Amino acid sequence: MQPSGLLASIRARRKVIVLLVLTAVAYFSAINRDQTFLWVIPALLSATLITGFAWPRWLVKKLKVSRSGPQRAAEGETIRFVIEVENEGLLPRFMVEIVDHLPFAGWSDPPASARQTLGMVATLAGRRRQRFEVPVVCEKRGYYRLGPIGLASSFPLGLTEARATRDEERQSLTIYPDLFQVMSLPLQGAPSQIHRGGYLLPEGAGAAEFSGLREYRRGDHPRHIHWPTTARLGELMVREYEPLASACLYLLLDQAVESNIGLGRESTFEYAVRIAASLGRAAASQNIRSRLAGDGQLPLRSVGGSGDQHFQGILDALAVVACDGVTPYERLLSEVAPFCIRGETMVIFLSENALRWPHTLAALAALRVRKVHLFAVIFDQASFVPDAHPATMDYPDPTAVVAELLELGAHTVIVRRGDDLVRLFNP
């Protein structure tokens, strides 16, 4: 055991150590003096030690505890757990804590042994039950196995704490990213996705939708002649069509560890996850085909699709996605480029250091050659650096990045820590 751990252990048990030392001294004094009343002191000290160790263990026996609550929640939402404690014994129990392991309640990443106190049973008569609700804020997205829920008591002397766990009370909880409303998306049509979604946009090539009738002009295809109108008017009339194509959205996360600036919810990656989830919901609400990709420890690749069921799959992936990769963003852009669709809108999240930006810009230029439209979310990295941690990297100037992306015809949004995302993405 390390010295710091040894000192912490001694401090936690200082009451017990002091009592043991006093008891030993009292017994030694009684043995060496022929006085009967001196034996009363070590006897009382021994009784105190026995009570302090035995009573808490008796209190948690014959108690049953269960927890019930939702299996899904949103980041930032306050959920309620229903706790039920049952005393199966005949004698009353009192001063017993209900403890649980809730890793989503806090961004400090507590160790596996960390626990939260859900409440305390002041007194519970024999053969009785007690039920109460506990509100808990879902501070961190992810998939969690909760528990085990347990009981703890150090009553009456606080010399030691007796614990009893109930492994059978484990349950799962999925916390999804916090979503915000996006009213419209800056998309263009993808001709190969004609009529796959309900969101149609003009495009120079692709299928067409009937828009009206006009007089025949030289070069019009004879199959477009509308014969009933021609017969009625006595002159050739043809159908006129407007080229249309369905929109298509590609969300591309940067999961490289070095690209994540900030702490907890106030980090560039967590902002990117919330933005990606919100854009995905906007696409699903308009029946726009969408997909998701990223390169972390576990590759993130979702097939294209639309509708609520497809969005649920994207949301499940974004609930657990982690910023734990080593792949540079430009390499991910190069990997997905051959599979991009002409006219597709790719949402990119830019939070790299200045040294990597020229390579990423070259990869984006290659995507534009493939007729991929760019929707760039640019993070002002300097604003995400914690106040207590001075910047150690050279970050590109967001306005300079915007200027270079505008030359590629990209739609750009600059995001700073603390920005109102609803207002930012609904100008």
Q: For residue 23, what pLDDT is reported?
A: 82
Q: For position 1, what pLDDT does the model report?
A: 46
pLDDT value of residue 35: 73
Q: Does the predicted model carry a pTM greater than 0.85?
A: no
How confident is the model at residue 273, as a pLDDT? 98
Asked whether the beta carbons of 291 and 263 are under 8 A apart, the reply is no
How many whole angstroms separate alpha carbon 83 and alpha carbon 113?
21
- 380 contact partners, CB below 8 Å, separation of at least 6: 398, 414, 415, 416, 417
| Structural class in CATH, domain 246-424 | alpha beta
pLDDT for the residue numbered 411:
95
For residue 299, the model assigns a pLDDT of 87
Provide the pLDDT for residue 111.
47
Q: Give the per-residue pLDDT at 256.
A: 96
Contact 53, 73 (CB under 8 A): no
CB 242 within 8 A of CB 202: yes
Phi, psi of 99 (to 5 degrees): -120, 150
Q: Is the peptide bond before 427 cis (omega within 30 degrees of 0)?
A: no
Using alpha carbons, select from 184, 206, 182 the residue that is nearest to residue 193.
Answer: 206
Task: Report the distance separating Cα 59 and Cα 72, nearest Å.
Answer: 34
Q: How far is CA 53 from the centre of its chain?
A: 42
* Domain 63-176, architecture per CATH: Sandwich (2.60)
Distance CA(22)–CA(41), nearest Å, equals 9
Predicted local confidence at residue 191, as pLDDT? 58
Residues near 115 by beta carbon (within 8 Å), at least 6 away in sequence: 99, 100, 101, 150
Query: What residues of the chain score a pLDDT lower than 50?
Result: 1-2, 109-113, 195-207
